[in-house]
Amino acid sequence: MTTAANGATRADTAPTAHEPPLFGPDSKFQGFFDDPRWALAIVRATVLEAAHPQVGAALVDNSTFVAHPWRRLRNTFLSMRRMFGADPAVREREAARLNRLHARMSGSDARGRAYDAMDRATRAWVVATLFESAVTMCRLSGQPLDQQTMERMYAEYRAFLASLDGDADELPAELRDFCPYFDRVVEHELEDTEAARVILFRLFDHLPAPALFDGAPTLWAAGRAVAGPLLGAITVASLPEAYRRRAGLPETPGAETLMQGAYVAAGLARFLPAGWLDAETVIDLVSLPEGSDDPRFRSVTALRDRVKRASALLRLLTPLDGGPEPDPASTAGPVPAAGRTEGRRSAEEFFRQVLDQTGDGHLDWPDLAAMARELSTRLDLDEPEETRLYDAFAAWWRELQAALDADGDGRVSAEEYAAAVPSLAGPALIRVAEVLFDATDKDGSGTIDAEEYRALFRTAFHRDLAAGDGVYGRSAFVSDFLSFMSARRTSTPYDPLLADA
Do 254 and 337 share a domain, yes or no? no
Q: What is the mean pLDDT of residues 23-52?
A: 89
Whether residue 150 has pLDDT greater than 90: yes
Tell me, what's the pLDDT at 86? 87
Whether residue 327 has pLDDT greater than 70: no
CB atoms within 10 A of CB 290: 18
Measured CA distances, 214 to 14, 285, 329, 378, 494 (Å): 49, 13, 14, 22, 16
Tell me, what's the pLDDT at 57? 95
Greater confidence (302 vs 425) lies with 425
Do 257 and 403 share a domain, yes or no? no
Q: What is the mean pLDDT of residues 348-365?
A: 91
The last residue of one of the domains, among 214, 236, 268, is: 268
> Does residue 455 fall inside a structural domain?
yes
Number of domains in the chain: 2
Do 256 and 386 share a domain, yes or no? no
Tell me, what's the pLDDT at 7? 40
- Helix 297-317 crosses helix 217-238 at what angle (to 10 degrees)? 100
CA-CA-CA-CA torsion for 256, 258, 263, 267, nearest 10 degrees? 140
Do 236 and 349 share a domain, yes or no? no
> Does residue 290 fall inside a structural domain?
no
Do 89 and 186 share a domain, yes or no? yes
Whether residue 121 has pLDDT greater than 60: yes
**pLDDT grade for 66, boundaries at 50, 70 and 90:** confident
> Does residue 343 fall inside a structural domain?
yes
Q: What angle do CA 113, 41, 353 make, to 5 degrees?
A: 65
Mean pLDDT over all residues of the chain?
83
Q: Which helix (H) or strand (E) holds 412?
A: strand 412-413
Q: What is the mean pLDDT of residues 78-87?
A: 89
Is the bond preceding 384 in cis, omega lying within 30 degrees of 0? yes
Tell me, what's the pLDDT at 422? 58
Q: Can you point out the beta strands (E) in 26-145? A: 106-108, 114-116
The amino acid present at 416, given as its one-letter code, is E
Do 253 and 349 share a domain, yes or no? no
Measured CA distances, 441 to 110, 285, 467, 475 (Å): 42, 27, 19, 13
Do 256 and 366 share a domain, yes or no? no
Residues in a beta bridge with 116: 106
Tell me, what's the pLDDT at 326? 43
> Does residue 314 fall inside a structural domain?
no
Contact between 134 and 29 under an 8 Å Cβ cutoff? The reply is yes
> Does residue 440 fall inside a structural domain?
yes
Contact between 484 and 491 under an 8 Å Cβ cutoff? The reply is yes
> Does residue 294 fall inside a structural domain?
no
The last residue of one of the domains, among 268, 297, 322, is: 268
**pLDDT grade for 294, boundaries at 50, 70 and 90:** low
Q: What is the mean pLDDT of residues 223-242?
A: 92
Q: Sign of the C-alpha dihedral, residues 150, 151, 152, 158?
A: positive
> Does residue 299 fall inside a structural domain?
no
Do 160 and 23 share a domain, yes or no? yes
Do 402 and 479 share a domain, yes or no? yes
The rounded distance, in Å, linking the Cα atoms of 13 and 126 is 21
The proportion of the chain whose per-residue pLDDT surpasses 70, expressed as a percent, equals 79
> Does residue 354 fall inside a structural domain?
yes
**pLDDT grade for 291, boundaries at 50, 70 and 90:** low
CB atoms within 10 A of CB 372: 25
Do 343 and 204 share a domain, yes or no? no
The rounded distance, in Å, linking the Cα atoms of 233 and 81 is 29
Whether residue 331 has pLDDT greater than 70: no
Do 344 and 228 share a domain, yes or no? no
Q: Of 338-342, 433-437, 455-459, which gets the smallest average pLDDT? A: 338-342
* CATH classification of the domain holding 360: 1.10.238.10
Question: pTM, whole model, 2 decimals?
Answer: 0.82
The last residue of one of the domains, among 251, 268, 285, is: 268
* DSSP summary character for residue 253: T
The rounded distance, in Å, linking the Cα atoms of 33 and 124 is 21
Per the structure, the complete domain to which residue 396 belongs is given by 333-498
Do 139 and 219 share a domain, yes or no? yes
**pLDDT grade for 259, boundaries at 50, 70 and 90:** very high
Greater confidence (273 vs 302) lies with 273
Q: Of 98-112, 173-187, 260-274, 362-376, which gets the smallest average pLDDT? A: 260-274
